[in-house]
Amino acid sequence: MDLKKIAKLYQEILVEIGEDPNREGLEKTPERIAKSFEKIFGGYKQKASEALTQFDGENYDEMIICNDIDFFSTCEHHMQPFFGKVSIGYIPNKKIIGLSKLPRIVEIFSRRLQNQERLTMQIATTLNELLKPKGVAVVVKAKHLCMMARGVEKQNASMITSSCTGLFKKNAKTRSEFLRLIKENQ
């Protein structure tokens, strides 16, 4: 990521919207924006496969859930933030992953230009491919500034997406248990 080039481009944007990039409050804004991009889009520098530590599951074959994982992302259509919570469940198939790995995977994919549907599917697909569990379920609930601050301007609307594989997709009872458990803990 070329931070100097990003700062230069943001200085041009400030001029185009009618601002003076040399006024006191904006003098360092292009550099601050460029620097913030390192964190906001840091997911491009990471691979989910490198973040996943697997352990012997000691034959554990019940649902494992990590609920209320906070995330921030950026809408690829309007470059506006969206944010919310992710709930992930999986049923191991001989292997489990480290406790911090589910939030880390959310972080990797959310720190890219995204849409919520893709984010949801990427988390589920990655866990399914890397862990090969009996099933994965992911639910994402988010608020989108592109919908809140522009367009329809609905500040209280939220969007919910889900992606299920394996037992969560095939077995309604398993899916219902997951949904009940994440709702009870909110």
Q: Which amino acids are annotated catalytic? A: 75-78, 116, 144, 146
pLDDT at 117: 98
State residue 28's pLDDT score: 96
Q: Is the pLDDT of residue 108 over 90?
A: yes
Quote the mean pLDDT of the chain. 94
pLDDT at 54: 81
Decide which of 184 and 180 is more confident: 180
- What is the pLDDT at residue 98? 87
pLDDT, tens digit (0-9, with 9 covering 90-100), for 34-67? 999 999 999 999 999 888 888 887 788 999 999 9
Domain boundaries, the chain: 3-40, 48-184
> Buried b / exposed e across 31-66, counting CB within 10 Å, b at 16+?
bebbeebeebeebeebebeebbeeeebeeeeebbeb
pLDDT (tens digit, 9 = 90+) per residue, 153-171?
988 999 999 999 999 999 9
Averaged pLDDT, 125-150: 95
The verdict on domain 3-40 having CATH code 1.10.286.10 is yes
CATH 3.40.50.720 fits 48-184, yes or no: no
pLDDT confidence of residue 186: 67
